[in-house]
Amino acid sequence: MRKRNSLAAYEEHIPERVNNLILGNVSPPLFPKIQVCPSADGKLIFVVVRVHQSHTTPHAIRGNTQVYVRADTSNEPEELADLEKLRWLIDRKAKSQEMKGFFVERADHRFRKLCSKQNINLKRGDCILMACPVYPFESLVDPTKLRQDIPERIRSGGWGGATFPRLVHRVNFEAAQDGAYGFFVNENSGYVCYEELNQCGFVYYREDIVDTERQQDGTEIHKALLYRLMVLLDLGFESITKFYDALGYWGMVEFRIVLRNLDDVGFIDLPAPRNYIKIDLIVGPPSELSKRFAT
């Protein structure tokens, strides 16, 4: 905090100066968010530094010789880390990775079990969208709020009436050990949709994106609407961003998109709406698409 008149000439250089101090004294380096905030009367300047959850802990200072940890007290907010705490910092990274893998395996197992009860076999068009803090290790929200309150708050809507999460108003979310999930199946078409949120910030969405048409000769044509996939990703990213805002989480997030069993599926674009230019009707099978993206 400084008097504004003494810093007015180089106020815009304060973030750069703070970054240089951090780069010169912290190892491995941190790259925090720095905001310069003048007071209401214009006489003082406050420099707010926000450090996100780091994936390169532990961080040392003073020539890479000292590591501090939070002590959770107002008088002494940090303390010098001993060997036991250093081991804990390192082990926490490994345990967080194990926890994230466990979340994925458990969601996959629950999805398969629910499909099995409905005699659903997802042969093709398996689309999975996942998000999670890079190093999850603590509860961010009361899990009971994940059944209705949080899904309502993060719900995003888009073109054609599409929404994400998609099951908020279709089914009642069921309570899980540390979160909530929703499951929907259309018995006539075999369409399946599954959504899961947990208190550590894990998001798991899974949907069948393929429609099958049976021809007069008995053959089947499997197709997926390209615009539908793009809308899903757009609304998914928007809703997941709202989710972390609702949890108060600020840090690195890992997004993962998985498309499975698309070998005999063609992607079809939406016919042109009112007065819009029509893109090629048949975009192409996945094998051709992968070649185009690779080049």
Is residue 257 very low, low, confident or very high in pLDDT (cuts 50, 70, 90)? very high
Q: Tell me, what's the pLDDT at 246? A: 93
Q: Tell me, what's the pLDDT at 4? A: 46
Q: How far apart are CA 184 and CA 68, in angstroms?
A: 48
Between residues 24 and 233, the one the model is more confident about: 233
Q: Which two tokens stand for residue 138?
A: 């603590």
Is residue 139 very low, low, confident or very high in pLDDT (cuts 50, 70, 90)? confident
Q: What's the pLDDT tens digit per position in 206-222?
A: 998 888 788 888 888 88
Between residues 123 and 284, the one the model is more confident about: 123
Q: Decide if pLDDT at 85 tops 80.
A: no
Is residue 153 very low, low, confident or very high in pLDDT (cuts 50, 70, 90)? very high
Q: Decide if pLDDT at 199 tops 80.
A: yes
In the chain, what percentage of residues exceed pLDDT 90?
Answer: 24
Is residue 224 very low, low, confident or very high in pLDDT (cuts 50, 70, 90)? confident
Query: How distant, in Å, are the alpha carbons of 9, 33, 199, 224, 278 from that of 281?
Result: 59, 45, 43, 12, 8
* Full DSSP string of 215-251: -TTS-EEEEEEHHHHHHHHHHHHHHHHHHHHHHT--B
* Weakest-pLDDT range from 9-13, 67-71, 73-77: 73-77
Q: Tell me, what's the pLDDT at 97? A: 83
Q: What is the mean pLDDT of the chain?
A: 78
Between residues 252 and 294, the one the model is more confident about: 252
What pTM, to 2 d.p., does this model score?
A: 0.68
DSSP state letter for 42: S
Pairing of strands 220-225, 265-268: parallel
Q: What is the mean pLDDT of residues 156-176?
A: 84
Q: How far apart are CA 115 and CA 122, in angstroms?
A: 8
Query: How distant, in Å, are the alpha carbons of 10, 37, 50, 190, 222 from that of 123?
Result: 62, 56, 46, 10, 11
